[in-house]
Amino acid sequence: MKYGFVLPDLDIMTAPELAEEAEAAGWDAVFIPDCISIETPSYPAGPASDPWVTLAAMAMRTSRVRLGPMVAAAPRRRPWKLAREVATLDHLSNGRMILPIGVGAASDDAGFREVGEMMGLRERAEMLGETIEILDGLWSGEPFSYAGMHYTIGRMTQLPPPVQRPRVPIWPVGIWPAEASMRRALRWDGIVPQKKGGRLKPEDVHAIRERANRVRPGVPFDIIAEGVTPGDNPAAAQAQVRAWEEAGATWWVESLWSEHTSATVRARIRKGPPRTPVGAHPKAISDRDAERA
């Protein structure tokens, strides 16, 4: 099991510093939101920064932790521009980027609903699928062409390709048990699972793991579980995470999305990840790093 931490929207000067603290405290990855202006009845508009600029600053302050957005909103970005941005960050971080990617929180983000971006879920899902295919093609470093319903590339070569080969790991959001969503996610390197009409549970992760093992036997595939653990109670935190690990999750991502200040986020980071004892779970599935071993 690997352990990530999502930094909520804080000021641009704080995120690189907290990423450095997370690395020192033993976290394996640090993620940041991708939004332009989130505002809901329960989440008032607050500070936000551009994810790519922020991640570049975080890359310069760290040397080990993986980095990425949680999650990149594909439909409001030109795929070829996204490919170049993420590849550049992969070089800045010496091969530490991960790309969780989804359709975007269109109804909550004024960067969708107030500026004329595509709002239909079906269309945004189509754009997500095409974006991922284009990223994979352009990251090959070879001449690439594409003709889809939403995007067309006559011929393009992007050099240099990312440090990571064959590509920066792509983790699409997958809605369980929606067939089209799951089929798309299982083609790539991992999944950020959400449950249609409810809250994801360990038994859902177990079902996703079983399906992944059937669809791509023997191929490493990451499954991400998210939540909040009590930093001041390591035993309770480990027990909470253990259920997800035994179900087949390979990452636990501590997600303090709202109602937190830089002080409370820093305090939780310093408590460290809810790492379970080595060897306690022989059935745990290794993540992409096992492929390099």
- According to CATH, the topology of domain 2-292 is TIM Barrel (3.20.20)
* Window from 33-37, 74-78, 136-140, 217-221 with minimum mean pLDDT: 33-37
- Reported as a single tens digit per residue, the pLDDT across 75-88 is 999 999 999 999 99
Three-point CA angle 201, 182, 97, nearest 5°: 85
Query: Is 50 exceeded by the pLDDT of residue 286?
Result: no
Reported as half-sphere exposure (CB side, CA atoms, 13 A), residue 190 has a value of 25
Task: Kindly state the tokens that stand for 232.
Answer: 């001041």
Per-residue model confidence (pLDDT) at position 118? 82
Q: Is 70 exceeded by the pLDDT of residue 158?
A: yes
Amino acid at 168: V
Q: Is the peptide bond before 115 cis (omega within 30 degrees of 0)?
A: no
Region 218-231 average pLDDT? 96
Contacts of 50 (CB under 8 A, 6+ apart): none
Domain residue ranges in the chain: 2-292
Q: What's 70's DSSP letter?
A: S
Q: Are 95 and 62 in contact (CB under 8 A)?
A: no
Higher pLDDT, 288 or 179: 179
Does residue 101 contact residue 173 with C-beta atoms inside 8 Å?
A: yes
- Residue 41 confidence (pLDDT): 66
